[in-house]
Amino acid sequence: MEDDKIPGSHWKRCQKWQSMLSSRGIVNIIGFWLLVAMIGSVSRSDGALCPAVCRCEEEALTTSCANAALEFVPIQLNPEVKNIDLSNNKISNLHFTFTFYDKLVQLDLSSNKISTLGSANFEYQRALKHLNLSSNEIEKLSKDSLKGLKALKVLDISYNRLEKLTSIAFRELHSLLILKLRGNRLMHFEDGLFKSTKHLEELWVEDNQFLVVPSSALSDVQTLRHLSLSRNLIESIAEGEMAQLSQLSTLQLDGNVISDINPKALAPLLSLDHLDISDNNFTALPTNSISKLSNLTTLRFSGNFINNIPSLAFRGLFHLKYVKLDRLQNLETIDPRAFVDNVHLEKVIMDFNIAMEKLPTRLFHGNPKLKCVSVRYNKLESLEVTHFPLDQLRELKVGGNPLQCNCSLSWLWQLIKIQKSKSKSAKLGNNTVNSMEEQAEQEHHHDLMLDVADIRCNGPEDMKDHLLSEASKYQMDCSVGWMAAVSVAVTVLFILAVIGGVVYWAPNRKSKSNKKKGQINKNGDLSTLDTMLRRPPSCPMNGMMVEPYEVTRIEKSSLGIMPPAILHPNEYRSLPPWDPYGAGHCQSTMNIYETLDENTKPRPHIVYV
């Protein structure tokens, strides 16, 4: 009989297929031609026919019909097949097409024209673990659209037209671990949506229209480890809006319009180690909010609108290893103590901060494990060696800045020279260097890598638009340049001019002073002389105030016998102390405490206090 030539499994499936068509009102002739197609497919020993537009690997039980312009799912493939790739075709519906393939483990239907999944079309795929339905035109999921997929672990329905998911859409996905819903039109999740997916670990909901974090629905998945809500419309995160996801390790909130995070909002995320809040509307670092994340190791804060990174900006983040602070177009200043708490910091990226003109000295010297620093394409005109802990760095990127390539960058020029020398030696297979000094430096910075090809100069004029590596030793020499020589010469000339002026004017001034003193002596202006001599008050003598020990000198001077003499300061030390009431002054022998004559002198009135 002809029927005996048909393998039992094929015959049974054909009968089942024909009965299904008949039960739905399809004419028997269609079933007949399908049966003929199945019989005609038995041209191989394994009883399967591989379409010409597909590639079949029978040993691996894999079939790929990608980019084959198929409009229907082929039904003549090996029923034992485990992996079918039907991506990038023109398939529009899935009705009754996978009944024959109950051994499927992986099915890719991405980039087709599927608008509906129908009802129970995956009922027999109880071994299916990976299902990709992305980039189709699916508008909704009914209660039986995913019926039978109890072993499914990965489901991708990204980039479809889903606007709503009912609470029973995933009711049979008990083994689901990864769910991707990117690029749909979802605004919220109904409560209970994830009630059956208690083992869910990853949820990707980027590029939707969420206004708030769907914390109520997420509270059913305590096993969630990765949550991505990137590129939605979330404006803020209030206290209590974040579900108690104690095992969540990665949270992506980038590309929203968040301007504020309540200080207590992230407190329930005790295990969070990766936070991305880039490309939002922050005008200040949410230090109080992120400081609760004591286990955080990675922080991305790019593309926000802050103008300052304050002291202790990342307070309490003692385990932080990687921080990305690039594309902060308003950032101007960084406090030197910004990273002092981050003792495990290993990598800092601060590129394309176009308003940042300088770095604080010793900014990174409090981070003993720092290995990589990148400050590319900022507005830095100068860089000091004290900015970076060169003894511990392994990678330093400073290219794209408008650097002034003078001798202040000689340290960077030296590092470039060492790196180029190492590279050249490696190509030649020669590990020697030119000098002992270079060898010592090379050993000290043996692992430091620079972005040599991007480090260009913006000045001075002779170095503009040239690579720093092209500068000569003379241009980078800070010891004695021609500018220094000119400065020294000008300084010496100025000092000589001052000394010459002093030598020229001093004798003239002294001569004038002597003439003035001679005039004073001739006129006998003793009070002026006394003032010039800066003597203490003198006693009266013949109407003039004169020191007793100067009388002889003044008399002789007035007679023209000798010129007036100016006492040397040491002469004052040999003179007796001035005592206005002593017997040696003014030739007075009167004692002020002597008893007065009652007849001739009035008794002084003494008042005792």
Asked if residues 564 and 573 have their Cβ atoms less than 8 Å apart, the reply is no
Helix (H) or strand (E) holding 83: strand 83-85
How many other C-beta atoms lie within 10 A of the C-beta of residue 344? 14
Mean pLDDT, to the nearest integer, of 342-366? Answer: 95
Per-residue model confidence (pLDDT) at position 407:
86
Residue 207 has pLDDT above 50, yes or no: yes
Mean pLDDT, to the nearest integer, of 526-545? Answer: 47
Radius of gyration of the chain, Cα coordinates, nearest whole angstrom: 49
C-alpha span between 184 and 163 (Å, rounded):
7
Residue 243 has pLDDT above 80, yes or no: yes
Where does 524-568 have alpha helices with state H? Answer: 526-532, 551-558
Per-residue model confidence (pLDDT) at position 192:
93
Mean pLDDT, to the nearest integer, of 163-173? Answer: 94
Higher pLDDT, 555 or 446: 446
Angle (deg, nearest 10), helices 436-444 and 410-428 = 100
Asked, as a colleague might, if the bond just before 214 is cis with ω within 30 of 0, I would say no
The amino acid at residue 101 is: Y
- Residue 276 tokens, joined: 């991305």
Least confident range of 6-15, 214-223, 341-350 = 6-15
Residue 512: partners with Cβ closer than 8 Å, 6 or more residues away: none
Least confident range of 167-181, 408-422, 585-599 = 585-599
Residue 105 has pLDDT above 70, yes or no: yes
- Residue 523 tokens, joined: 């006129």
Least confident range of 260-274, 373-387, 420-434 = 420-434
Higher pLDDT, 493 or 69: 69
C-alpha span between 372 and 351 (Å, rounded):
13
**Total H helices, total E strands in the chain:** 10, 25
3-state DSSP call for residue 180? strand
Per-residue model confidence (pLDDT) at position 17:
44
3-state DSSP call for residue 433? coil
Report percent pLDDT > 70 for the chain.
69
Residue 1 has pLDDT above 90, yes or no: no
Per-residue model confidence (pLDDT) at position 6:
40
3-state DSSP call for residue 173? coil
Instruction: Report which listed range, 258-262, 438-442, 461-465, is most confident.
Output: 258-262
Count CA within 13 A, CB hemisphere, residue 447.
7
Residue 447 has pLDDT above 90, yes or no: no
Q: Phi and psi at residue 492, in whole multiples of 5°?
A: -65, -45
Residue 566 has pLDDT above 50, yes or no: no
Paired strand residues for 179: 155, 203
Strand boundaries in 126-283, DSSP class E:
130-132, 154-156, 178-180, 202-204, 226-228, 236-237, 250-252, 260-261, 274-276
Residue 520 has pLDDT above 90, yes or no: no
Per-residue model confidence (pLDDT) at position 516:
55
3-state DSSP call for residue 453? helix
Beta-sheet pairing, 62-64 with 55-57: antiparallel
Is residue 515 very low, low, confident or very high in pLDDT (cuts 50, 70, 90)?
low
Buried b (16+ CB within 10 A) or exposed e, 440-465: ebbeebeebebebeebbbeeeeebee
C-alpha span between 134 and 128 (Å, rounded):
17
Report percent pLDDT > 90 for the chain.
58
DSSP per position, 155-168: EE--SS------TT
C-alpha span between 254 and 230 (Å, rounded):
5
Is residue 484 very low, low, confident or very high in pLDDT (cuts 50, 70, 90)?
low
Is residue 576 very low, low, confident or very high in pLDDT (cuts 50, 70, 90)?
low
Per-residue model confidence (pLDDT) at position 492:
78
Higher pLDDT, 302 or 420: 302
Per-residue model confidence (pLDDT) at position 18:
43
Residue 294 has pLDDT above 90, yes or no: yes
The amino acid at residue 200 is: L
Least confident range of 12-16, 227-231, 245-249 = 12-16
Average pLDDT, the chain: 80
C-alpha span between 440 and 443 (Å, rounded):
5
3-state DSSP call for residue 223? coil
Per-residue model confidence (pLDDT) at position 378:
97
Q: What is the 3-state secondary structure (H, E, C) of 325-350?
A: CCCCCCCCEECCCCCCCCCCCCEEEC
Residue 102 has pLDDT above 80, yes or no: yes
Digit-coded pLDDT (tens) for 380-416: 999 999 999 999 999 999 999 999 998 889 999 999 9
